Amino acid sequence: MIGTLEKWQTGDPAAFEELYRQYHLLVFRNAYLITGTKEEAEDVLQEVFVSVWNARRTFDPEKGKITTWLHRVTVNQCMRRRRKRQPATVSLEKLHIAEFLRDEGEEEKMVTREEYEILLKALKTLDEKHRAVLVLRYFNELSYHEIAQAVGIPVGTVKSRIYQGLKSMREQLGVQEGACT
């Protein structure tokens, strides 16, 4: 029996709709966290899925997971849009924490809304290349290798950007080096 991915790659609109239903929130969340606005994220979401449809024959499941490919397409689209305009700011008043926290039931991963807003303010101070790797690592829990695939950079560069991004955020938050990881 042919799966959804195979049907999508052959041009089946119903399979494409299923792919959209399954992954649109992932793409939107990443786009929102990288661009900083709902409007930009909605535009990126649309552009990503137009690209996903147009490039369906280029996806190779043997080279990686569909989610890794979607992360890459999303990050690339965000970067293209951001190069065209000034950096965006995250509108914290419009933020709904439940949409962004993964595994809400695990108490050790929960933070208060106030702590989350403070973290997002620090995140928005970063440039897009540092912000993108941190979003993929800490909001999507991707491995360094998966981030490298999604962004198209070496694993060492991923580690360096994560380290530098966290260092910058720690400085923004006034946190000592060993206090958070």
pTM passes above 0.75? no
Q: How confident is the model at residue 92 (pLDDT cuts 50, 70, 90)?
A: very low
pLDDT tens sequence across 52-74: 999 999 898 888 899 999 999 99
Number of domains present in the structure of the chain: 1
pLDDT digits (tens, 9 = 90+) for 131-140: 999 989 888 8
Residue type, 156: G
Please give the residue range of the domain that contains residue 8. 4-179
CATH number for position 42:
1.10.10.10
If you count them, how many residues does the chain have?
181
Q: Where are the alpha helices (DSSP H) in the chain?
A: 4-9, 13-35, 38-54, 66-83, 97-100, 113-124, 128-134, 144-151, 155-173
